[in-house]
Amino acid sequence: MPTPALLVLDAEPLPRLGRLTGRAHVEHTDAKGLAERLPHADVLLVWDFTSHAVRDAWPGEGPRPRWVHTASAGVDHLMCPELAASDTVVTNARGIFDQPIAEYVAALVLAMAKDLPRTLELQRERTWRHRESQKVAGGRAVVVGSGPIGRAIAGTLGALGITTALVGRTARAGVHGPEDLDRLLARADWVIAAAPLTEQTRGMFDARRFGVMQPSARFVNIGRGQLVVEDALAEALAKQWIAGAALDVFESEPLPADSPLWQVPGLIVSPHMSGDIVGWRDELGTQFVELYELWAAGEPLKNVVDKQRGYVPGH
């Protein structure tokens, strides 16, 4: 049996694939070379998970890889109708980012409740100004997205004494369906967007949804930038429909220097870093190698994405 051809869509630093020496013929490409090399690959590792190159190159002529793995939780950057309709198996990096993102959300909740951004501003100004802060224990949160990341967020917020409701694609034990979302938003102190990007979730946080929330509510998005209508969020903050917000993901990334979002009062902007802890790339590489060993042995793969839904089912 010939050695399988593994094509890597590169990003720096490159993945460590030494364990696959002699077990895979590894080639590397950038976005420009992907279309030419794609027909010759048995496996595609999308290491550059910010690129849309797969979505652009996949509809071309010739054979396609039997398996595509993306080093990210979301798959919206690579999914296209031709890939969704194919026999190619798609897997993602489910499990790597859950707890780091949950900790980041908890940090944002505490930072907003305790007014830490203002404290740092006053320190830089050498201004002593006593204020009162908000108690988080006893509050209510809604986490939209009931997958592993959403569940990790709910557990971590629970440790802070926050009662958390999960909202998923369908209602089931411990998870509310979309029909409950507006009712839950109207009572929530914290609203966390952690859903995958699908046609059902795109733009779900719009002017109407921000209008449903309490004036004291705060909103956090660590899911996908396209879940939020950014102009509507900016207006909601400017008109004090909600008390504050934090965005780690944006419709356009990197966020342009001239974006008005940098200047919106009450908005914390961070550069898509909520899941990126020290050593995270090594964890992603190790996960892929373990999946490759399953694939090469003919064993069932983990983290298989439902290509129609856009996420790993079963949660």
82 is catalytic: no
Single out the residue of 116, 120, 159, 156 nearest to residue 134, CA to CA: 116
State the amino acid at position 243 in one-letter form.
A
64 is catalytic: no
Q: In degrees rounded to 5, what are phi and psi of residue 118?
A: -70, -35
Of 94, 218, 224, 281, which one is the catalytic site residue? 224
In whole angstroms, what separates CA 109 from the centre of its chain?
Answer: 18
Is residue 302 within 8 A of residue 91, CB to CB? The reply is yes
Of 16, 19, 37, 272, which one is the catalytic site residue? 272
Beta-carbon contacts of residue 20 (< 8 Å; ≥ 6 apart): 6, 26, 289, 292
Of 121, 253, 290, 299, which one is the catalytic site residue? 253
Burial class of residue 87 in the structure, from the number of CB atoms within 10 Å of its CB (0-12 exposed, 13-18 middle, 19+ buried): exposed
Tokens of 249: 């993901």
Known catalytic residues are 224, 253, 272
